[in-house]
Amino acid sequence: MAAINDTLDGVFINPVEFAQSLPGGFLIYRAVGRGSILFANNKLIDIFGCYDYKEFVRLTGGTFEGMVYAPDRKAVLESIEKQVEAHSEKLDYVEYRIVRRDGKVRWVDDYGRLVHSQKQGDLFYVFISDTTEAHDEEFYLNERVMTLEALTREFEAVFLLSLNTGTMRVFRALGDYSRKCIGHGVPEEADGYDLDWRSACLKYARKIVVPEDAETYLDEMSLTRIKTRLESESSYSVKHRCKDDMTGVISENELYVSRVEGVDDSLVVIAHRFCREL
């Protein structure tokens, strides 16, 4: 034991210095009433966009309840109470929104523990981190999926194209469309199948697009052209004529091109649909 004590000599600093040295936000508040705040470290004050502790207190009213975005408050308080009652070590985890001093709404994760102090009574010790970017990523991912799902209700096929790699992934394509337009060797259930975009366009132009429209189609669908157009437009459509190699029927078709905002700015959605027979 003496050796261990010698090793740790000088390691522990006073509690305030320790709390200020933590890489995330740290908070102590009373477990009664509105949760009067007894301590907030500088990192937590930064998360709220405040200059100092006094400004933080003015913003939040000096209470835990005042920290939580009003629409989230009731659910957060109820969740903490239920978790602490159910957990043998009085632990809780909640996520909620806050409003910074500049008015921006941010997401935070809150890991707390209820402890009893002989001098101060019941207190919550809480670690808080800003998780807004992770929530935004999840939001954009969900938005992207919803957008793609909506397109599948209007178009026969929907693809995701990476402008960085030139790789196309089939998000949704009807069996007939997969065989006729994407080419042989692609399974009928083609969802999730990866293809080279340039090769797929050449094959489509050669087999399906009428010769008079093929050059324009290939130009509009080149990676360079897509990048250039999407710099000034959020989306655009390219109409072209196709000929069924079995029936000889000529039809007007549309390719819809749109940038997918969010996680990966190089991602583009391409959707195809039949318009009308000519």
Range in 40-44, 66-70, 92-96, 250-254 with the lowest mean pLDDT: 250-254
Name the pLDDT band for 90 (thresholds 50, 70, 90): very high
Give me the pLDDT at residue 4, please: 47
Q: Residue 118: pLDDT above 90? A: no
Kindly tell me if the per-residue pLDDT of 103 is higher than 70: yes
In the chain, where the domains are located: 2-130, 135-277
Residue 34: pLDDT over 90: yes
- For residue 5, pLDDT beyond 90: no
Residue 136: CA count within 13 A, CB half-sphere: 10
Give residue 183's pLDDT: 43
Q: What is the distance, to the nearest Å, from the Cα of residue 130 to the centroid of all Cα atoms in its chain?
A: 15
The Cα 133–Cα 71 span in angstroms is 20
Residue 85 φ then ψ, to 5°: -65, -35
Q: Is 143 a residue whose pLDDT tops 60?
A: no
Domain pair 2-130 / 135-277, same fold: yes
> Which pLDDT does position 271 carry in this prediction?
78
- pLDDT average, residue stretch 150-177: 73
With a cut of 70, say whether residue 8 has pLDDT above it: no
Distances (CA, A) of 259 to 108, 155, 256, 268: 30, 17, 10, 4
Q: What is the mean pLDDT of residues 149-174?
A: 75
Residue-level pLDDT at 190: 47
CATH topology of domain 135-277: Beta-Lactamase (3.30.450)
pLDDT band for position 248 (cuts 50, 70, 90):
confident
Across residues 204-231, what is the average pLDDT?
88
Cα dist. 4→9, 145, 186 in Å?
A: 9, 55, 65
Name the percent of the chain lying above pLDDT 90. 31
What CATH class is the domain 2-130? alpha beta
Mean pLDDT of 258-275: 72
